[in-house]
Chain A
Amino acid sequence: MNTPILEMKNIIKEFPGVKALNNVSFQVKEGEIHCLVGENGAGKSTLMKVLSGVYPHGQYTGEIIFGGNVQNFKGISDSEKTGIAIIYQELALIPEMTVYENIFLGHEIKNGAIIDWNETIKRAAEMLKKVRLNVNLAAKVKELGVGKQQLVEIAKALSKDVKLLILDEPTAALNEDDSENLLNLLRDLKNHGVTCVLISHKLKEVIEIADSVTVLRDGQTICTLETQKGEVSETALIKYMVGREIDNIYPKRENRQFGEVVLNIENWSAYDPALGRSILKDINFHVKKGEIVGFAGLMGSGRTELALSIFGNPDGYNITGEIFIMGNKKHFRRPQDAINAGVAYVTEDRKGDGLILIQDVKQNITIANLKEIANRGVVNDNTEVNVANEYKDSLNIKTPSIEQKISNLSGGNQQKVSLAKWLFVKPNLLILDEPTRGIDVGAKFEIYTIMTRLVEQGMSIIMISSELPEVLGMSDRVYVVSGGKIAGELAIKDATQEKIMQLATNY
């Protein structure tokens, strides 16, 4: 267990205007689970992309030694041949293909020139057993939940005879059960001799599973900590990651006096004619001025659908029910109507339907409220630059310039741009859907602080979150959603993880 299977020495990788990796060294011992942590933009994903050949030899400087040999990968296929498999932050499965087709996509089992489907299915079944996934092999991947898709990805990696498995934030989109499941699987694989590098912002799971942890900050290796030596603890990790100590990640609230009811939803139901069933059933809730209302529940319980349908984008569902804003009945035919009524919705899927990746930071921040910076339909560039810089500073968005393309920002900073875009709309009610997914502790703390500041200024916030500590730490009141229904409402003083989980799984 003590020989290094991988050594990366003095890796430097530059992008125009950013030194993403500045002399990073990284060692992984054979057969261990090695976690890689660090703030958003620290360079974790970039380091793994260097390793897997996404950035080929020549585009970085430094040395990679894997399995005892110096490696100069020219592309992903080179690294795969030596036994490195990487699962990216974004899933890379083909939704319209079946599970077994996906598993062997790219390295099909062939009999001459023809695919041997029988062998494929047999081998795919073995792989699924290895990852302990019990689904129909012929099911299309799009029919599976995120957690199961994640396992299919791992099965795919295993089918390539992997020695080193790299997972970039695999649990970011998973609920507690699925995450736990995944971690158990990694332990299992470790016992079968697979070495694992895991990138995660969830420090609890890092502490739970890591044999060693390497901390990156601003493109540099800060330290490597060993679990056996008792060096790994939450305070230690945060200290090395952020460079300072944060004792309470959930900021204190000055006052918890709430004003009038801002949003009232009555008998809200959604029916999906395509699937022929109800997605939301008779939902009633309200939000007061200055209040943070948490929406807890499992993935797929209908919280995002609820938010989207209220926001005027019901996505083909038939909606019944009533919305009252400040006591006035409203009907939102499209998001523009909701925005005009002072409602903003920060989506959970920032890449899919949140940001315009090919545009720059400044354009993304202003896109939802261009009229504010325009005069008779003509955009004022000066005002736009000022607005964008203001949000860049106040939300501490890490980017070389507000003219940087969004796709070049790290995940957490993309999330902050998403938030900035909706704050610029200056809403009365802000709906946050998984606001801290894939975000580091430091940035989480910043976002929580911003939320606190906003409600103290009189904004109301709906926070949809699958992370229970976050729900408990930030909310004033909690609704638990389960199977498209409100399963319960808890005052914050009565809410506990157990109570919420019990309501969430009880339908």
Chain B
Amino acid sequence: MSFIQNARKLLQQNIREYGMYIALFVIMTIFTITTKGIFISSRNIVNLVNQTGYIAVLAVGMTLVIVIRHIDLSVGFLGGFLGAIAAIAMVQWHLPVYLAIPLTLALGVLAGTITAFLVAQMKIPAFVATLAGWLIYRGAILVVTESTGTIIIPDKTFNAIGNGFIPDIPGIEFLPGVHKLTLIIGVLAIVLLIINEINSRKKKQAYNFEVLPMEMFIIKLVFTSALIGGITWLLAGYQGLSWTAVVVLVVVLIYHFITTQTVLGRHIYAVGGNPEAAELSGINVKKITYIVFGSMGMLSALSGILFASRLQSATTTAGSLWELDAIAAAFIGGVSPAGGIGKVVGSIIGALVMLSLTSGMNLMGIGISYQYMARGAVLAAAVIFDVATRNRAQ
């Protein structure tokens, strides 16, 4: 087969997965052109990553919730509320930050467990149960911020999560003005990726499974390496990797590992694929529901912490519409509404698509009203594309 044919076949077979990368690439290119390069500047990319952070962690949790055929509408205001609790814990209860954060995360797990109880035990549809949560947490934010209004957070460590950058290795003369530690991390990531890909390719070949043709494989590796390298270079040229990016990366790595490599991950996808069959296979469907909603609650708390830290304060409006951004990100990232299908990494790309739109349109000075419409159109287009390619694949 010729190179072009190979490329076309590959694109056709994987169009659904590559589609969102292509979409992200197209969106970024368009904004780079329309903003005369401001969009792709180091400064803006860093901002973009930091703004995406709190939606990205929600999207990760939401992916699993939708995979097991549920939905969680309460995550936005739960996040906002728990962000306020973290602020209160530090400001009013004078808890140190390393206690306030775990406490907030634990409360998130608790909130998720309550949702799971309603869904798994009481058999209330998740849509209804979490709509109730949406209202309750909306009210709760108002209650806790009623007397004080916006709560200013003075803690430097806490605020660094949303605004700070990882420290650099001191005393290296080489490449002044470039963040060396970021560079090293980027290079390490590329090396690990390449080793990992080559290993898994070898393994597949040993079992006579279908693998990419050699030249395609190399192109894919070059492309992803260049992408990581490019982003690393951009970040290193500014102030380096932000703490928010580190948090998101860690969350994604952990969840990616769990969903692709572990028994728990398999059980989650089995429950989503066919709950009756999963139960009869000895999987405790209720337990999985508790775990997934519990994790969603914890990630909501994390999202609230990221947001409060970024604003260095807890506000009365924190959390509004986050859930919709997270759900949209998951769907753009290829999660199937019917359950059982969806990747964590896809949802992160989805979140980047949503936030790139916002950021780019802001830079272009487009009004908020048109921004909503544009985002709605992209969501619809993404899902139409998804459904169309899925049908053809059958």
Measured CB to CB, the residues of A under 8 A from B are 311, 313, 334-336, 338-340, 345, 347, 352-359, 363, 367-368, 370-371, 374, 377-379, 381-382, 385, 389, 401, 403, 421
Contacts and interface: CB of A to CB of B under 8 A. Distances in A.
Identify which of A311, A355, A356 gathers the most chain B CB atoms within 10 Å of its CB.
Answer: A356
A335 to B, nearest CB: 5
B84 to A, nearest CB: 35
B215 interface: no
Given A374-B262, A377-B262, A313 B270 contact: no
Given A335-B279, A356-B273, A356-B274, 7 more contacts: A347-B280, A353-B280, A354-B280, A355-B274, A367-B283, A374-B262, A378-B261
A382 B279 CA distance: 26
Contacts of B203: 381-382
A340 B280 CA distance: 13
B63 to A, nearest CB: 16
Top 7 closest pairs, chain A to chain B, by CB: A353-B276, A356-B273, A336-B282, A368-B281, A339-B282, A370-B263, A356-B274
A170 to B, nearest CB: 24
Contacts of B262: 374, 377-379
Query: Which among A338, A339, A357, A379 has the greatest number of chain B C-beta atoms within 10 A?
Result: A379
Contact of B280 (A311, A358, A377, A401): A311
A367 B276 contact: no
Contact of A353 (B269, B270, B277, B284): B277
Interface string B251-271: 000000000011111110110
A465 B264 CA distance: 35
B182 to A, nearest CB: 30
A363 B266 contact: yes
B382 to A, nearest CB: 20
Nearest to A337: B282
B262, B273, B284, B341 pick with most chain A CB within 10 angstroms: B273
B194 interface: no
Contacts of A336: 282-284
8 contacts: A345-B280, A347-B280, A356-B270, A356-B340, A367-B270, A370-B263, A379-B261, A379-B265
Given A356-B270, A358-B341, A374 B284 contact: no
Nearest to B285: A334
B79 to A, nearest CB: 29
A268 to B, nearest CB: 19
Nearest to A346: B280
Contacts of A335: 279-282
A425 to B, nearest CB: 8
Contacts of B209: 401, 403
Interface of B: prevailing SS: helix
B207 A385 contact: yes
Interface in B145-204: 203
B284 A356 contact: no
- Tell which of B266, B277, B279, B283 has the most Cβ of chain A within 10 Å: B277
A3 B47 CA distance: 76
Interface in B303-340: 340
Given A334-B284, A353-B274, A358 B340 contact: yes
Nearest to B340: A358
B257 to A, nearest CB: 8
Nearest to A334: B284
B308 to A, nearest CB: 33
B120 interface: no
Nearest to B273: A356
Contacts of A374: 262-263
A378 to B, nearest CB: 5
Contact of A313 (B261, B263, B280): B280
B156 to A, nearest CB: 38
Given A336-B282, A356-B340, A370 B273 contact: no
A248 to B, nearest CB: 34
A354 B263 contact: no
Contacts of B89: none
A17 to B, nearest CB: 9
Given A367-B266, A379-B266, A401-B209, A358 B273 contact: yes
B263 A377 contact: yes
B278 interface: yes
Contacts of B277: 347, 352-356
Contacts of B264: 377
